[in-house]
Amino acid sequence: MARKKTPNVLDELLGNKATEPAEGNIRIPESRNAGILTNQRSGRRTKETYYLSAEIVDTLETARYNLRQMATTEKRKQISKSSIVEMALQLAFEDLEVQEQDSQIAQRIVERRR
């Protein structure tokens, strides 16, 4: 499904010639998940915002501190809260894919909603 071109209203008002983006630079995913997969393959990161409990935020900070203490000097720079969250989600999704309803995340979410 092709996306309609968004008009450049500012350039039209100012009388400037609208510039076209280089072909291949625009990638519009068919679904939100497709965009995430595209970003994984290209190595780009996307900023997202989620609400976490204060307890989880404190635990995340403690985990970051502890992991940095365990790591070599070179690896310490790579350990961030974002990298921890990304790895934790990746592990949870892999478990969900393999174990389905028996996965830890499925069990906890289903249990929590009952």
pLDDT tens-place values along the chain, 114 residues long: 667 777 776 666 677 654 554 455 445 445 444 444 445 556 778 888 999 999 999 999 999 999 999 999 889 888 999 999 999 999 999 999 998 888 999 998 887 665
Q: What pLDDT score does 5 carry?
A: 75
Q: What pLDDT score does 60 carry?
A: 95
- Count other C-beta atoms under 10 Å from residue 79's C-beta: 19
Q: What pLDDT score does 48 carry?
A: 87
Q: What pLDDT score does 89 carry?
A: 94
Q: What pLDDT score does 114 carry?
A: 58
Q: What pLDDT score does 94 carry?
A: 94
DSSP letters, 69-101, are HHS-HHHHTT--HHHHHHHHHHHHHHHHHHHGG
**Distance, CA of 52 to CA of 85 (rounded, Å):** 11
